[in-house]
């Protein structure tokens, strides 16, 4: 409550406490019912078992907004989970806006209201934070104070029993919120960046739709652990959050313009950068340094992060020659030399910033004997006012440079102790800028098709099996309009031997069963069969391999003979229905290479043919499709068509939870679905 008073809150405050008559100089009331009026908001900070009753009183009083700071709910075990369920029922019944429980409250800077129990002041500013972890909030408060960073909203979600990140983001999109915003902060960026710390997403699809709209205007940066099994374990024992597949989340962020942070350092670095600077208009960076070494390190980081070193035009070079000593480097990175005073820095900065090809500037300073640290900071601040281009600093050292950093902080110029951090931040800002200036905001509508044959095929498949048989999957692909190589079930060797007469050599022989995920695991594939003797050998060895399997598995197996498609590239195409984000396309190098080499590219569906085309272009395997070495490009159009058809199939058949074609063989004229698997969701099948 001290925080509320200290924050300069102008409204009335009514403490409620059974025993105290007065708290911090305010009259305390023994119960909610006895309050003299109906407050806009109730804040609960009592032991968990007592919360339910109080919440009921709040409903009776007619209060609509509630914050529950108390811990001891879902995060603490089965009992707490039960208590939380009761809260949710009450809140839903009365249409309450309920934040928490197990949260740290929130801070508004418009009107000022600090409703947290963290031990730090908060400066007003333009950053908006949403965090699921209260502990992170405490660190962010302390860090923001030291770095003179301010925020306009700071919300801790706690257990997200009712209000979640989507509700907050939606509110921030409302006219009501926007009309009450304070003006843009002086010297800060023109946007109102949003920082998110989330351990789980409540409704992934909705979150993405919201984020996509917001990202067009304001940058969103997110820290969301969950990449590895170890982290997932830690998370379950901490907040009971269950994570979806991280790779899908990663690609989802990229597709909607969200910057994903690698760790806390990224998170804090981006907070400052997005709050204080506008994103660069292009990828071209200039570096000015009084030290060769750090300039080299930064130049290296610039290329590694996908940025480029600006090339100066003649006029800029001429001016640099005029204003810098003879031994200075006038090629980017500019070395103003170890004896540079503030004035030399000032000249170099102005000359470089007026160069049209420079989109962002990084100024590096090491504390040499003559270095004017504070004056140089002031000179940078002036240049930042004069030119519209974003400036980032790296003053490298300890006590000496700290004074310079303070001046930079006051001027709202982000500075970093290590130059590679500055580069990383510029790269993230540029990625966002590029995304928002090119990404289409509209999501394509999924097209669906209807095919009664397909319908009956899927429903006639054996009820207790989740996977279609090879023949069923192959027919599904055929009915969906995909090219499939000629094949047939070979009942005996004679029928197998007659097959190549029609199709020619080479052929492939495989053991097929819905229960076998990877045929090569059971030595179930022989390829490159070019004559009858080889076919006979292959037939016998497959029979032998079959006999080595469990009795029950053997009964599910048939032998397939298939025309082998040569002179093509093996690819993998799959679609998986993600629990959070819906259908996701997987594409990459196929065959045996699919699993051991990491060319796994993901794309959230639905997508337009153009989007699919660009997606294929960005894959590692792409050079092999586009006339790599050989001059004849493969039929990428056919591949895009194939993916479009599979996408429609998945949208019109919600029973399908997963499709995988491995390999797709792409030749100069066609894309063949050589080996397809279709996995159904039995639950959905039964529903229908």
Residue with tokens 């998370």: 235
Nearest to 113 by CA among 275, 3, 256: 3
Nearer to its own copies by Cβ, of 71 and 458: the residue is: 71
* By the rule CB under 8 A, 239 interacts with its own copies: yes
Residue 493 to residues 480, 498, 500, 540, Cα–Cα distance (Å):
31, 9, 12, 9
Query: Segment 560-579, which members bind its own copies (CB under 8 A)?
Result: 566-567
Dihedrals phi, psi of 41, to nearest 5 degrees? -150, 140
| Cα–Cα dist 75/95, whole Å | 24
How far apart are CB 456 and its own copies at their closest, in Å? 35
Radius of gyration, CA atoms only, the chain: 31
Query: Rounded CA gap, 251 and 605, in Å?
Result: 11
Contact range with its own copies by CB under 8 A, out of 17-25, 479-487, 589-597, 644-652: 589-597
Encoding tokens for residue 651? 């949208």
Q: How far is the CB of 85 from its own copies (least distance, A)?
A: 18
Q: Is 70 in the site for its own copies (CB under 8 A)?
A: no
What residues between 655 and 684 interact with its own copies by CB under 8 A?
A: none
Among 194, 360, 589, 639, binds its own copies (CB under 8 A): 589
- To which residue do tokens 């469990």 refer? 550
Q: Quick one: which of 180, 228, 315, 669 contacts its own copies (CB under 8 A)?
A: 228
Query: Token match 């229905």: residue?
Result: 577
Tell which positions 34-63 bind its own copies, by CB under 8 A. Answer: none
Residue of 37, 186, 492, 521 interacting with its own copies (CB under 8 A) = 521
Task: Give one word for 204, left, alpha or beta, with left for phi > 0 and alpha for psi -120 to 50.
Answer: alpha
Among 101, 204, 219, 225, binds its own copies (CB under 8 A): 225
Decide: is 587 part of the binding site for its own copies (CB under 8 A).
no
Q: Which stretch binds its own copies (CB under 8 A): 180-188, 378-386, 453-461, 524-532?
A: 524-532
Contact 559, 489 (CB under 8 A): yes
Task: Select the residue interacting with its own copies from 630, 683, 687, 688 (CB under 8 A).
Answer: 630
Q: Say whether residue 21 binds its own copies (CB under 8 A).
A: no
Structure tokens at 66: 């509630």
Asked if residue 608 binds its own copies (CB under 8 A), the reply is no
Q: Which is nearer to its own copies, 58 or 361 (CB)?
A: 361
Residues from 304 through 333 that contact its own copies (CB under 8 A) = 304, 308-309, 326-327, 329, 331, 333
DSSP secondary structure code for residue 520 in this structure:
G
Rule CB under 8 A: which of 373-402 touch its own copies?
Answer: 396-402
- From the list 137-145, 181-189, 313-321, 348-356, the region that binds its own copies by CB under 8 A is 137-145
Residue closer to its own copies (CB basis): 62 or 398:
398
138 binds its own copies (CB under 8 A): yes
Output the DSSP codes for 233-263: HHHHHHH------HHHHHHHHHHTTPEEPSS
Alpha-carbon distance values, 300 to 279, 292, 296, 525, 675 (Å): 21, 12, 6, 47, 44
Q: Does 550 bind its own copies (CB under 8 A)?
A: no
Binding residue count for its own copies, defined by CB under 8 A: 112
The bridge status of strand 220-223 relative to strand 194-197 is parallel
CB of 120 to its own copies, least distance (A): 7
């Amino acid at each position: 409550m001290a925080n509320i008073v200290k924050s300069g809150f102008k409204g009335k405050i009514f403490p409620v406490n059974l025993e105290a008559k007065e708290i911090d100089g305010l009259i305390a009331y023994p119960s909610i019912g006895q309050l003299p009026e109906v407050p806009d908001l109730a804040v609960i900070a009592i032991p968990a078992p007592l919360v339910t009753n109080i919440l009921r009183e709040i409903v009776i009083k007619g209060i609509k907004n509630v914050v529950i700071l108390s811990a001891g709910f879902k995060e603490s075990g089965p009992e707490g989970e039960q208590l939380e369920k009761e809260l949710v029922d009450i809140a839903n019944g009365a249409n309450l806006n309920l934040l928490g429980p197990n949260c740290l409250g929130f801070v508004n800077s418009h009107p000022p209201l600090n409703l947290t129990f963290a031990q730090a002041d908060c400066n007003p500013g333009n950053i908006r934070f949403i965090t699921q972890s209260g502990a992170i909030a405490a660190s962010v408060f302390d860090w923001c104070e030291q770095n003179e960073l301010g925020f306009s909203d700071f919300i801790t979600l706690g257990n997200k029993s009712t209000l979640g990140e989507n509700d907050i983001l939606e509110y921030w999109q409302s006219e009501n919120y926007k009309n009450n915003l304070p003006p843009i902060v002086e010297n800060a960026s023109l946007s109102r960046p949003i920082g998110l710390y989330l351990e789980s997403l409540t409704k992934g699809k909705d979150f993405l739709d919201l984020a996509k709209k917001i990202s067009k205007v304001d940058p969103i940066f997110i820290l969301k652990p969950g990449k590895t099994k170890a982290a997932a374990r830690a998370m379950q024992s901490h907040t009971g959050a269950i994570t979806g597949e991280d790779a899908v989340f990663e690609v989802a962020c990229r597709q909607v313009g969200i910057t994903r942070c690698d760790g806390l350092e990224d998170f804090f670095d981006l907070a400052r950068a997005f709050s204080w600077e506008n994103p660069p208009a292009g990828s071209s960076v200039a570096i000015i340094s009084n030290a060769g070494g750090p300039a080299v390190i930064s130049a290296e980081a610039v290329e590694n992060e996908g940025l480029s070193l600006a090339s100066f035009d003649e006029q800029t070079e001429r001016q640099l020659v005029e204003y810098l000593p003879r031994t200075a480097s006038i090629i980017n990175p500019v070395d103003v030399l170890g004896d540079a005073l503030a004035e030399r820095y000032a000249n170099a900065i102005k000359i470089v910033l007026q160069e049209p090809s420079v989109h962002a500037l990084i100024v590096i300073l090491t504390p040499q004997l003559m270095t004017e640290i504070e004056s140089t900071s002031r000179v940078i601040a002036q240049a930042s006012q004069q030119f519209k281009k974003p400036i980032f600093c790296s003053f490298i050292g300890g006590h000496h440079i700290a004074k310079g950093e303070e001046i930079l902080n006051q001027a709202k110029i982000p500075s970093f102790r290590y130059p590679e951090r500055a580069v990383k931040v510029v790269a993230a800002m540029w990625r966002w800028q590029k995304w928002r200036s090119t990404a289409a905001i509209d999501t394509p509508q999924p097209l669906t098709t209807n095919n009664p044959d397909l319908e009956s095929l899927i429903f006639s498949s054996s009820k207790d099996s989740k996977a279609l048989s090879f023949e069923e999957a192959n027919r599904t692909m055929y009915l969906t309009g995909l090219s499939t190589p000629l094949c047939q079930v070979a009942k005996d060797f004679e029928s197998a031997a007659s097959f190549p007469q029609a199709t020619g050599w080479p052929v492939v022989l495989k053991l097929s069963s819905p229960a076998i995920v990877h045929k090569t695991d059971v030595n179930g594939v022989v390829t490159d069969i070019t004559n009858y003797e080889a076919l006979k050998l292959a037939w016998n060895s497959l029979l032998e391999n079959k006999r080595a399997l469990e009795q029950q598995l053997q009964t599910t197996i048939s032998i397939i003979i298939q025309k082998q498609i040569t002179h093509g590239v093996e690819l993998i195409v799959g679609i998986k229905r993600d629990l959070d984000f819906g259908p996701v396309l997987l594409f990459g190098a196929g065959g045996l290479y699919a699993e051991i080499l990491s060319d796994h590219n993901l794309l959230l569906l639905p997508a337009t043919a153009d989007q699919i085309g660009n997606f294929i272009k960005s894959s590692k395997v792409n050079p092999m499709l586009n006339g790599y070495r050989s001059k004849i490009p493969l039929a990428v159009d056919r591949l895009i068509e194939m993916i479009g058809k599979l996408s429609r199939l998945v949208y019109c058949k919600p029973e399908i939870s997963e499709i995988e074609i491995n390999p797709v063989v792409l030749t100069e004229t066609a894309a063949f679905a050589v080996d397809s698997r279709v996995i159904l969701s039995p639950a959905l099948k039964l529903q229908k």
